[in-house]
Structure 1
């Protein structure tokens, strides 16, 4: 089976011919929220519709890390290495403390409940950025139907001051997000209003000022086939995006370099392993991984 589609010759240097796509585990309902826990040498990911967080360890396989998870989705680690999770059901951000207790960080903006936080990243200044679409309060499959109290938005939350700010409300369905290695650019996927027949679906790019202010966003790239959901970035600034046919590698100028072909639609992905050169991929109900000749951004 063909594993790669080389579109630009640069991509040929990113792949390893003797490192094929590996299936690590299967039988999940829909995989989301992959995050590498380097100090524990494990991968955490969500079996989202089953309301549980899973853990994968090399040579030990998969086990349940947390159940129920609050229908958690996106995950990241803060500047102290603590786990930050987006909870659909609880409509908030959660933080797992070092003693294992779980703290509710933020669940409201301007006195109104958040919708269903979807994905999250942490900037080096400690600020927490997350997307808040309507998706998972619109059905019972991934959290349960609930009434929305405010429009979809991209937020920044300061865990020190507890201040939450709308960074952009120009989205129908903000989803995955990732900073460039120098944090001067923020990528956000727009997956649109999926209750319509023709939703807006593309990747947005925003310039980021040193103080965290965002410039006006522009369309960076449009994934075909399918659309972009989760994102991650390598140390050279290439963007690795989920797609209907696998993972697409996109140069910082927006040019598609190549594809890792995956049997099922990809939802989310992250770099991990001791050298951060192993790309872990959530392919619908199956967990995959592949070694690459590139390293992901090592953060935290």
Structure 2
């Protein structure tokens, strides 16, 4: 399919038409990254922050189009989110840790080890309504010196963790992933979706997102495949208020129904790493894709 930024849609199911704005094209907001990742919207500051991992910086975009450096060096920060108090929570490949940026700008280390051994390289992070922090810990940041510092993993498995910032308690909730990557809760927080991107280094591995039932807000059960990608692998993703999953892929952003059916795609001319919903009405999908930051208005709103 030939790419047309004025109508960048590949419709696979007629339901997809009600979730897109047909005359809202794909906009490139910035170019000049090496690997753009980790977008997070700050409504109270009317800006978007995102990571440029190899360049060791976090960038800031504001609606007038101005882009500035929020933090450099960033310690190879990858995924970002906000906690319920509005603070920035980040996954740092360089420090192999999860940190929180306080209101005064100081940085608090939330997690950098488990059972006395260093984490691999925390990748993506979400915060639940009970303030607990859930994050993935693949080895991408220690595979080479490009997105971190090359090192041998100290954890035997590549895990998904739950962290209680009030007590500092950290626990493994899933330990059977090849490379756990993006993650997000369903709108009602009864399910947790987690991407496995291990096919990046082993083509025999699945290219799918798994979904788990959340039990008592602390553990996961009944893990099963939610969807598989037909182009590239899943990295970061977000859900809208309906429960559709908007995930990164090689050819753009794939939208899956709550049942795991591919509804359609927002085609992007670069490999997509991550997405987030933002803007005053949370109906603008921001897309980090290799060298660039893109956006497209949609007819749904992002889930909190």
TM-score (norm 2): 0.96
Deviates more, 1:132-141 or 1:202-211: 202-211
* CA deviation vs aligned residue, 1:18-69 (integer Å, no higher than 9, x gap): 2111110101101000000111000000011001000000114211000001
Residue of structure 2 in register with 1:283 after alignment = 289
Is the aligned partner of 1:217 residue 2:219? no
User: In structure 2, how many angstroms separate the alpha carbons of the residues matched to 1:212 and 1:220?
Assistant: 21
2:167 aligned with 1:161: yes
Task: Indicate conservation of the 8 Å contact 2:29/2:65, yes or no.
Answer: no
What corresponds to 2:90 in structure 1? 85
Q: Is the 2:39–2:51 contact (alpha carbons within 8 Å) kept by the matching residues of 1?
A: yes
1:133: which partner in 2?
138
Shift, 1:201, TM fit? 2.1
> How far does residue 195 in structure 1 lie from its aligned partner after superposition?
3.6
The match for 2:262 is: 256
CA distance in 2, matches of 1:115, 1:133: 6
Question: What CA distance in whole angstroms lies between the structure 1 residues aligned with 2:201 and 2:22?
Answer: 41
Q: Give the ranges of 4+ consecutive aligned residues of structure 1 lying more than 4 Å apart after TM superposition.
A: none
Alignment of 1:174-189 (within 5 A): 174-189=180-195
Cα distance, 1:197–1:221 mapped onto 2, change above 3 Å: closer
Q: Which aligned pairs between 1:209-248 and structure 2 lie closer than 5 A? A: 209-248=215-254
1:71 to 72, 76, 84: 76
Compute the RMSD of aligned alpha carbons.
Answer: 1.0
Give distance in 1, aligned partners of 2:286 and 2:85. 23
Structure 1-normalised TM-score? Answer: 0.97
Structure 2 CA distance, aligned partners of 1:224 and 1:207? 25
Question: Which residue of structure 2 lines up, in the alignment, with residue 7 of structure 1?
Answer: 12
1:114 is matched with 119
Deviates more, 1:125-134 or 1:2-11: 2-11
Cα offset, 1:224, TM superposition: 1.2
Partner of 2:145, secondary structure, is coil
SS in 2 for 1:199: coil
Matched, 1:294 2:279: no
Q: Which segments of 5 or more consecutive residues in structure 2 lack a partner in the other structure?
A: none
Select 1:23's aligned residue among 13, 23, 28.
Answer: 28
Aligned to 2:104: 99
Specify whether residues 196 and 7 from structure 1 end up closer, same or farther in structure 2 by C-alpha distance, changes over 3 A only: closer
Counterpart position of 1:198: 204
1:53–1:72 CA contact under 8 A, matched in 2: yes
- Could you list the per-position Cα deviations for residues 108-130 of structure 1 after superposition, in whole angstroms to 9, with x for gaps in the alignment? 10111000000000000000000
| Shift, 1:146, TM fit | 1.3
What runs of 5+ residues in structure 1 fail to find an aligned partner? none
Distance in 2 of aligned mates of 1:7 and 1:67? 41
| Distance apart, 1:144 and its partner CA | 1.6
- Count of residue pairs the alignment pairs up: 298
Tell me the secondary structure at the aligned position of residue 80 of structure 1.
coil
Deviation at 1:101, TM superposition (A): 0.6
The DSSP-based 3-state class of the residue aligned with 2:300 is coil
